[in-house]
Structures are given as C-alpha cells and as structure tokens.
Chain A
C-alpha cells in the first residue's frame, strides 16, 4: 500500500468510526433483536425465534404496510408532478436568477419539521384558514373535515419533502445539453413531443433520485401521520414506534424496522443502478 492511500485511509477513519458506531452497530443490534423474544416489561429475552417475521405478514400488519406504500406512493407521485414543472421553470429562468429561485425553493427547510407540520393543522382544521376562507366566499355548509385524513398526511409529506425533489430534478435538467432539444426541434418535433421524447427520458435519473428519496422518507415517517392523520390510521413508522414505546414488543418492532430497511435499501440500489446506467449516456451527450 502506498503512503498516499495509507494517508487517505487514515483521514477516512473518523467518518468510518462514526458510521460504524452510530449506524452499523445499532442496525446490527436491531437486527439481532428481531430474532429474540419479547420481555414482559420491555427489553428482550434471549430466546431465538423467527416468529416476529412471520407476524409481519399477518394480514393486519400487511394491511398497514400496504397503506404506507400507497400513501408514500401518492406523495411521491404528487411531489414529482409539482416539482418537475417547478424545476423546469427554474431552469428556464436567467442563469443569475437560478440560485435565488433555488434558495426560495429550499427556504422551508430552515424552519423546524414539526412547526411546518403544525402549520398545516392551522390551515386544515375545521376552524382553520381554508374553512374560514371558504365561508368568506359564501360557503355555508358543514365545515370540511380536511384534517386527520389520508389526504392531509399526503399533503404534509409532499410539502415537507418537495424541495429535495425539486433539487434532484433541477440538477438533472440543468445538465441536459440544450443542443439535444434543438436537434429534436430541427428534426421536426414540436416542443411538446420534444419534451416527451428527449427531455423527460434524459432527466429520468433526476426524477428517480427525487422520487426514491421522498418515497423512502415517507414510508418510514411517523410524525406526519401522527399529527395530520390524527391516529385514525397508522403507517408502518407509527407501528414500529408503538411496538417500542407502547406495546413494549421490541423484537416485533425490530422485525418491522428490518423489513422497512430492506425495502428502502432495495429501492435505493435500484435507483443507483438505473442512474449509473444513465449517467454514462448523459455525460457523453454533454461533451459529445
């Protein structure tokens, strides 16, 4: 080993130690817990069993899993539908304005996640801004129950993670070689057809990156369903939370967590592979 690589290994050591201590080791502990038996008052008993994983596929819990996938999926879909035009608009803006527009897109991140979520309670509740506004415009029926619904949870998730998706799509769009768009027009494609045949396919890596990002963060989320879903229904994150803190069934919570992590890792790997296949092509297109 050369001294160069020795030195770079040495410099990576703190980061590796940090990740190992606070990420890998806890994961391994949770993984081990998933195969143990629950203790009577929390904690675990050291009896090996696979029963926790069998319970995960119990229809009751599988249903919660499916609900989570649906909510995360819808949040992903809406986020992409909102973020793509936003990113596109930022790309069309003059070069010197783009950093400012991106700054505004990311601005909500500067306030606390909980506060941002509570803000939606203010907006959505029966005496909230939206219902008041409707009444002001002459609506005099029963106030709308917007809060504590699946829709409210999706709104909260989309709102909170939208900036990530905008950034991911923007980075893909801004790297797109403008001459490809011109070439498409030159070959007889209208603006719309050019978008579907050239722009969108070549920016799919950004869409995939942003999409996987919000999906992974949404499916494991427990704060937003708790605050905006009002405990009326559960997502997988709430279930894990309950197993550890309410039901005192740590091994089952660990097993649920492991399944969730497995799903996330699978998605991230798929996305990484897809974008690696793509990046060769777009890099080529840029210097081509």
Chain B
C-alpha cells in the first residue's frame, strides 16, 4: 500500500473524549492524507460525530492531540481552524439569502467586497446555484439546501472539509446522484474530505479509505475493497454489505466444520480445535449441479432486477443462507420457493473469526 507516500494533512493522535461516565471516543489515532476522501463509518453512538466535532473545534478532547499540517490545533477556537464543517442539518442562516450565506465566511476573513463578489459568483456557478442566489433557505428544496451548505463551506477553501451525514436528509434517488456529485466536486476542488456516515453503501461508493468505528474505537481502517473483502472482525464483516455467518469449529486437521461439512479455509493464525465463525458473502456462494455441494431448500426468493437473492435452508446454520444468483441464466430454474439446490462455497473468499 502507499500508506506512507504523502504526509498526513490531518492527524488525530490518541484522542479521548468522555461525556460524563460514558466514553465517546476511546483513544483514536488516524492519519488523513492530502486530497483523500475519508469516511468515518459506524452505527449511531459509535463516536464518529464526536470525533468530527473535535476536529472542527466544537468539543475539546479530554486528552490527545489533533494536528493540521503538523501544527497542533487541539485547543484552537473553531473560527481559527482552516477547516470547515458541513452540518447535517445544513445550518443555513435563515435570515440571509443564498448569496449572503456564501459571502458570510469570506466577510469574516475581511476580504475586499469586490473579491467576495467574484468568489461568491464563481462558487454559485460551480455548484449550479446562480438562479437561486436571491432566495432565502426557507424557499429551497432539500437538495438545493444541501448544495448551498456545501458551497458555503467550500468557498472558504478549507484545508479539510468535514461533512456530517451530508446526504442523510435526502431521498434515495437524490442521495445516489449526490454521492457521485460529491466525489466529482472533491476531485475538482482538490480538498481533503472527511465524511461521517452510518450508511456503509455511501462509504463504499465515495471514500478512498474508510475507518469503521464502534463504541469509540476504530475496528478497521482501509480501502473499501480491503474492508469489504477482508473484514478484520465479525462486526465489520456484518456491518459492511450482506454477509452469511456460519457457526462451527476448526478441527485439529485445520478444516472448518459445520453441519457435517468440512471446508478448507485460510486460518490466518486462528486456534485449532476451537469454535469459529465462518463469514461468506452471498455472491461467493454458487449453485452447483453435479450434486457434490451442500444440499438445501430454497425458502424465499427476492428479485433485485439484475440478480436474485435466494434464501436457502441448509444443515450449516439455523438461519437460511443468502445466495446471490443472476436473474437470468441457467440458475433461473432454481430460483423458486421449494426448489432443492446444491450449494458450493468459494473457500478463497470465506473469512474465519474467533471471538
């Protein structure tokens, strides 16, 4: 990996934050590189928003250091930090027009009027908001407000742009469109983005790197592909994408056994002769026709257009296995409730975990 290639623009070093007795962030360290699109991903209450607010300067860490371009900014007031936050609620000033909202941050820098006007007009053009310049936030749709909030933060040309659930308030269609839009904008303006999200799909689509958080700790940090294909533990495996879990045990012969089946998997240093969980994604289970596979019965079928999701009851686990098959093709015949099928697991794509 090219982890060490560029120096970090933002580094978080052993940051801890308590709220009363509960620990929100439990000694997190992170290096975020120049021009990176970085995602903090986790369920609600995992500490991702608290971490973002500490970077922005709205919460002070109990201990630890936050550095921007190698300068300690841990105790700096929010207005002194050359980074900007796009709020989940957008937090547009309701008494100002779109134009005034954009100009606000530049006025605070004490720029001359002429320059402010030029930069606001440029940003309005970039974000396709020129027609709305004179409107108040109350007169905008959700998607328009989102663009104004983004433009208002970007116009400051921050070192790092922080985005708190930026697409959370939008409907599904618009969200997918904006995911690509955000990614395009990020590469266009060349600013480091740190996005907080609970939506794993959003993180996978947009981010260059993802940190998965839970209970104030980072469980895994890596590229979307690493996290999807090589989850570090059972939680990450279950949180990202669809996953089947099969309880079993690793025998002395280094084979994973469950429901009378034995499977050769990468043990990557796990204990032998001990219980383990096998995780396998629906697309890594295939239907086999030669009768050598694991016998099962289709109990449910969900049609997704391009493919079908089969729920197959087997001896491997109490819960039916999810199997993804193409919607059209030779497997179509099996895709009906009640069909008897035979399954084959792609051993190379299986992951084993021990608690």
Task: Report A65-93 residues with CB < 8 Å from chain B CB.
Answer: none
A284 / chain B contacts, CB cutoff of 8 Å: 94, 137-138
A106 / chain B contacts, CB cutoff of 8 Å: none
A98 within 8 A of B: no
The answer to whether A189 touches B79 (Cβ under 8 A) is yes
Q: A180-B93, A281-B136 are in contact. List 15 more A-B contacts (CB 8 A).
A: A177-B89, A179-B89, A180-B91, A182-B91, A185-B58, A186-B79, A186-B153, A187-B105, A187-B153, A188-B109, A278-B95, A281-B95, A284-B138, A285-B94, A288-B137
The answer to whether A187 touches B77 (Cβ under 8 A) is no
B94 / chain A contacts, CB cutoff of 8 Å: 180, 202, 281-282, 284-285, 288
A189 / chain B contacts, CB cutoff of 8 Å: 79, 104, 108
The answer to whether A187 touches B137 (Cβ under 8 A) is no
**Docked complex Cα distance between A193 and B87 (Å):** 20
**Docked complex Cα distance between A44 and B93 (Å):** 58
The answer to whether B138 touches A185 (Cβ under 8 A) is no
**Docked complex Cα distance between A180 and B108 (Å):** 15
B90 / chain A contacts, CB cutoff of 8 Å: 288
A201 within 8 A of B: yes
Number of A-B contacts (CB under 8 A): 79
If over half of A's interface residues share one DSSP class (helix, strand or loop), that class is named, otherwise mixed; here it is helix
The answer to whether A188 touches B92 (Cβ under 8 A) is no
Question: Chain B residue with minimal CB distance to A202?
Answer: B95
A125 within 8 A of B: no
**Docked complex Cα distance between A288 and B136 (Å):** 12
Size range of the chain B interface in the assembly: 20 to 34
B78 within 8 A of A: yes
B83 to chain A, nearest CB (A): 9
Q: Which 10 A-B pairs have the closest CB atoms?
A: A188-B108, A187-B105, A183-B91, A281-B94, A285-B94, A179-B91, A284-B138, A185-B78, A189-B108, A188-B79
The answer to whether B138 touches A182 (Cβ under 8 A) is no
B115 to chain A, nearest CB (A): 15
B152 / chain A contacts, CB cutoff of 8 Å: 187
**Docked complex Cα distance between A197 and B58 (Å):** 19
For B150-193 the 0/1 string (1 means CB < 8 A from A) is: 00110010000000000000000000000000000000000000
For B10-22 the 0/1 string (1 means CB < 8 A from A) is: 0000000000000
The answer to whether A288 touches B92 (Cβ under 8 A) is yes
A132 / chain B contacts, CB cutoff of 8 Å: none
A181 to chain B, nearest CB (A): 9
A183 / chain B contacts, CB cutoff of 8 Å: 85, 87, 91-93
Question: Chain A residue with minimal CB distance to B85?
Answer: A186
The answer to whether B89 touches A186 (Cβ under 8 A) is no
B50 within 8 A of A: no
**Docked complex Cα distance between A189 and B108 (Å):** 6
**Docked complex Cα distance between A184 and B101 (Å):** 10
Could you list 25 A-B pairs, sorted by A, with CB under 8 Å? A177-B89, A177-B91, A182-B85, A182-B87, A183-B91, A184-B104, A185-B57, A186-B56, A186-B57, A186-B78, A186-B84, A187-B84, A187-B104, A187-B152, A187-B156, A188-B109, A188-B156, A280-B138, A281-B136, A285-B92, A288-B89, A288-B90, A288-B91, A288-B94, A288-B137
**Docked complex Cα distance between A72 and B138 (Å):** 36
A190 within 8 A of B: yes
A288 / chain B contacts, CB cutoff of 8 Å: 89-92, 94, 137, 145
B87 to chain A, nearest CB (A): 5
**Docked complex Cα distance between A179 and B149 (Å):** 13
The answer to whether A179 touches B87 (Cβ under 8 A) is yes
**Docked complex Cα distance between A201 and B104 (Å):** 14
Contact of B105 among A188, A202, A282 (CB under 8 A): A188
A185 and B92 in contact (CB under 8 A), knowing A281-B138, A284-B138, A285-B137?
A: no
Task: Report A167-206 residues with CB < 8 Å from chain B CB.
Answer: 177, 179-180, 182-190, 193, 197-198, 201-202
**Docked complex Cα distance between A274 and B232 (Å):** 58
For B53-81 the 0/1 string (1 means CB < 8 A from A) is: 00011100000000000000000011100
B85 / chain A contacts, CB cutoff of 8 Å: 182-183, 186
For B235-256 the 0/1 string (1 means CB < 8 A from A) is: 0000000000000000000000
Task: Report B255-312 residues with CB < 8 Å from chain A CB.
Answer: none
A73 to chain B, nearest CB (A): 25
For A149-178 the 0/1 string (1 means CB < 8 A from B) is: 000000000000000000000000000010
**Docked complex Cα distance between A185 and B156 (Å):** 13
Task: Report A247-288 residues with CB < 8 Å from chain B CB.
Answer: 278, 280-282, 284-285, 288
A282 / chain B contacts, CB cutoff of 8 Å: 94
A95 to chain B, nearest CB (A): 14
For B92-119 the 0/1 string (1 means CB < 8 A from A) is: 1111000000001100110000000000
**Docked complex Cα distance between A281 and B57 (Å):** 27
A177 / chain B contacts, CB cutoff of 8 Å: 89, 91
A36 to chain B, nearest CB (A): 49
**Docked complex Cα distance between A202 and B136 (Å):** 14
The answer to whether A187 touches B95 (Cβ under 8 A) is no
B93 / chain A contacts, CB cutoff of 8 Å: 180, 183-184, 198, 285
**Docked complex Cα distance between A285 and B105 (Å):** 18
**Docked complex Cα distance between A193 and B94 (Å):** 17
B78 / chain A contacts, CB cutoff of 8 Å: 182, 185-186
**Docked complex Cα distance between A174 and B232 (Å):** 45
Question: Chain B residue with minimal CB distance to A185?
Answer: B78
B108 / chain A contacts, CB cutoff of 8 Å: 187-189, 193
Of the listed residues A182, A184, A288, the one surrounded by the most CB atoms of chain B closer than 10 A to its CB is A288
B205 to chain A, nearest CB (A): 26
